[in-house]
């Protein structure tokens, strides 16, 4: 979905988790979700905060006014809270707001696959998805759940839902 939005001229920010896993695997590090979820989540929080700051410093994305984040701060806070019990979602989620509308993509068994950066199984992904839905709802976000459809149809739906909406001053656009 992010690649399709980028193809259409929108700025995008890749998922912190995959970047962290790649760096940790190259260095032989331990901040991997299957080895040390708390360390991984803390790195993801730091990276998501850096990503938000970089987007804010650069201004709006690709002339469109929208920059799309693949996952982000709330996702990392949910992971940390799940791993440690620390109240990360409320603390970080209230202090660092995104655009009020977020787009969630439920795990889709027909296309879900494990790889070097995603070692968890489908049932773990489904449980994480439910934690994310609960966290975004508790933080007052308007959620759009994207249907099981083609990438192009999902991108069309994202853009349709954002048509006419404006970027909220001081907050980055929606994460996906």
pLDDT value at residue 123: 84
Q: Is residue 62 over pLDDT 50?
A: no
- DSSP calls for 33-87: TTT-HHHHHHHHHHHHHHHHHHHHHH-SSTTTT-EEESS-HHHHHHHHHHHH---
Count of C-beta atoms within a 10 Å radius of residue 13: 24
Q: pTM value?
A: 0.84
3-state secondary structure 115-173: CCCCCCCHHHHHHHHHHHHHHHHHCCCEEEECCCCCHHHHHHHHHHHHCCCCCCCCCCC
pLDDT value at residue 57: 87
pLDDT value at residue 164: 73
In this prediction, residues 89-99 reach a mean pLDDT of 92
pLDDT value at residue 170: 46
Confidence of residue 175 (pLDDT cuts 50, 70, 90): low
Looking at the chain, the number of H-run helices and the number of E-run strands are: 7, 4
In this prediction, residues 156-162 reach a mean pLDDT of 95
Please identify which residue in the block is written with the tokens 């080895």.
Answer: 35
Burial bucket for residue 111 (CB in 10 Å: 0-12, 13-18, 19+): exposed
Q: Are 43 and 104 in contact (CB under 8 A)?
A: no
pLDDT over 90, % of the chain = 67
Count of C-beta atoms within a 10 Å radius of residue 162: 20
Q: Is residue 60 over pLDDT 90?
A: no
- Max Cα-Cα span within the chain: 47
Count of C-beta atoms within a 10 Å radius of residue 37: 16
Question: Per residue in 7-58, pLDDT tens?
Answer: 999 999 999 988 999 999 999 999 988 899 999 999 999 999 999 999 988 8
In this prediction, residues 99-121 reach a mean pLDDT of 77
Confidence of residue 169 (pLDDT cuts 50, 70, 90): very low
Distances (CA, A) of 169 to 7, 55, 95, 139: 26, 13, 14, 18
Mean of per-residue pLDDT scores for the chain: 87
- The length of the chain is 176
Rg (CA), the chain: 16
Q: Is residue 168 over pLDDT 80?
A: no
């Amino acid at each position: 979905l992010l690649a399709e939005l980028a193809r259409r001229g929108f700025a995008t920010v890749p998922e912190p988790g995959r970047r962290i896993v790649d760096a940790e695997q190259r260095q032989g590090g331990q901040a991997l979700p299957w080895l040390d979820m708390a360390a991984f989540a803390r790195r993801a929080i730091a990276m998501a905060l850096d990503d938000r700051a970089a987007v804010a410093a650069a201004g709006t994305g690709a002339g469109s006014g929208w920059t799309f984040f693949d996952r982000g701060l709330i996702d990392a806070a949910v992971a940390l809270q799940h791993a440690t019990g620390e109240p990360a979602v409320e603390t970080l989620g209230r202090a660092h707001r995104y655009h009020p509308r977020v787009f969630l993509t439920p795990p889709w068994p027909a296309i879900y696959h494990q790889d070097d950066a995603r070692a968890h199984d489908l049932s773990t992904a489904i449980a994480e998805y439910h934690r994310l839905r609960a966290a975004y709802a508790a933080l007052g976000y308007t959620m759009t759940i994207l249907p099981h459809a083609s990438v192009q149809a999902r991108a069309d739906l994202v853009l349709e839902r954002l048509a006419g909406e404006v970027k909220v001053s001081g907050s980055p656009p929606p994460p996906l």
